[in-house]
Structure 1
Amino acid sequence: MKNALLTLLVSGATIGAASAQVEIGLKVSPSITHLRTDSPSTYGFENQKSKVGIGGGIIVDYFFGQNYAFSTGLELTGKGGTISYFDPNRGANGQRVEQKIGLQYLQIPVTVKLFTNDIATDTKLYFQLGGSLNAAIAGRINGDKRYTDASTGQETKAAKHVIIPDAALRGGFGVEYQLGQNTKLLAGLSYHRGLFNIDNYFGDERNFKEVELKNSEFALDLGIKF
């Protein structure tokens, strides 16, 4: 009985390993990003303009079924946008200020891809759901690595205006085309919704209460898998 059970377990593991498949590729992702804002009306934080950026990285799809894959990798992408707020300490009666914030992130996707059967010859649709773990590695404000606040005269590094960790929910869909025996082309759209309040300046340095800045990104994903 024990030998039969052991044989069954080994057979199952062998079949699982044989059916598992890892596909690795590269992608480039032009994107439109903006910062979602929230604050008391005293400060009136608003999203003013989106930012056009580009990212890219490595794709790793680990298939645990014919049409199901755990998808991860490593991405480098730009985020940010232009915000405005009312600064009560600038000028005699206060003044509205704009900031153009540019951020660079390293990201690790943690998602599942669901594939359809062929909708045309060698062509499948896919749907991607999950999230990502992100880390800010660089930043600019108004195009500069350092920012001098006109209200305080204090100079700070732009990268220090945001916290390093972030996380995002991710959803997307696209099409994948089998180009050769081991080569696939893909094209899709995805939305990345930041979960953390990334502000590390207005609350700490300016004592603005309850200010929130969160990332949002719409991306066009173009890639090739080998």
Structure 2
Amino acid sequence: MKKALLAFLISGATIGAASAQVEIGLKVSPSITSLRADSPTAYGFQSESSKLGLGGGLIIDYFFGQNYAFSTGLELTGKGGTISYFDQTLNRRQEQKIGLQYLQVPVTVKLFTNDVATDTKLYFQLGGSLNAAIAGRVNGDKRYVDPATTQETKASKHVIIPDASLRGGFGVEYQLGQSTKVLAGVSYHRGLFNIDRYFENERDFKEVELKNSEFALDLGIKF
């Protein structure tokens, strides 16, 4: 009985190892990012404009079926945008151009079609990512002097470090050789956390929310 159970487990592990496949690659992702702003009417926070960003990093696709893969990796990407608000101390609207850098770990599933043309498949990606802010600038500088208070603060301290986002996208993958594939796709990343720390802590503005949004073009190669 023990020998039969051991043989079964070894057989299962062998089949699992044979069917599992890991594909590793690199990607670059130019993007358009913005900050979704919300606040009580008195503060009048709103998103003014988006910014161009650039990201990239490592792709790891772990296949647990012929057309299904758990997709993760490590990404470095830029986010942010321009916001405006009504400063009651100065009695006028103020703008801030916020630029942020994040390290991200995707936690997604990729679903592939069968070949739609020779060596060509479509894919759909759904899931999210865990993100950490590692650097920031306000109006292009690493430090910010508030015109209402004349206090200087580090731009990186204007946001909380952790963030998480939902991610959805689709694209096409083309097989170049036995193990080399190229891919191109688009994706949308919707931040879930309120990342503001400055207005709440330094200016005592209540119920201000700033959340990340990103549209990205994903270009990559897997080896």
Question: What TM-score do the two structures reach when normalised by structure 2?
Answer: 0.99
Match of 2:64? 64
Identity score, percent: 83
> Does 1:51 pair with 2:51?
yes
Structure 1 moving runs of 4+ over 2 Å: 1-6
**Which residue number corresponds to residue 125 of structure 2?**
128
Aligned equivalent of 1:32 = 32
Deviation (angstroms), 1:73: 0.5
Q: Which amino acid aligns with 1:88?
A: Q
Partner residue of 1:172 out of 159, 169, 174: 169
Question: What are the superposed Cα offsets for residues 137-194 of structure 1, whole Å, 9 maximum, x if unpaired?
Answer: 0000000000000000000000000000000000100000000111000000000000
Q: For the residues of structure 1 that align with 2:210 and 2:177, how far apart are their CA atoms?
A: 45
Write the distance in 2 (CA, Å) between the matches of 1:224 and 1:6. Answer: 40
> Residue deviations 1:193-225, cap 9 Å, x none?
000000010000000000000000000000000
SS of the residue corresponding to residue 16 of structure 1 reads: helix
Show structure 1 runs of 5+ residues with no match: none
**1:31-71 Cα deviation digits (max 9, x unpaired):** 00000011000000000000111100010111111111110
Deviation at 1:25, TM superposition (A): 0.4
Counterpart secondary structure, 2:200: coil
Structure 1 counterpart of 2:222, one-letter code: K
Equivalent residues, number: 223
Distance 1:101 1:40 in 2: 21
Q: Which residue of structure 1 aligns with residue 95 of structure 2?
A: 98
1:119-148 deviation digits (Å, cap 9, x = unpaired):
000000001011000000000000000000
Match in the other structure for 1:80: 80
Match of 1:190 in 2: 187
Aligned alpha-carbon RMSD (Å): 0.7
Displacement of 1:2 after TM fit? 3.3
Question: 2: CA distance between counterparts of 1:177 and 1:165?
Answer: 35
Q: Please state how far the C-alpha of 1:12 moved relative to its aligned partner.
A: 1.1
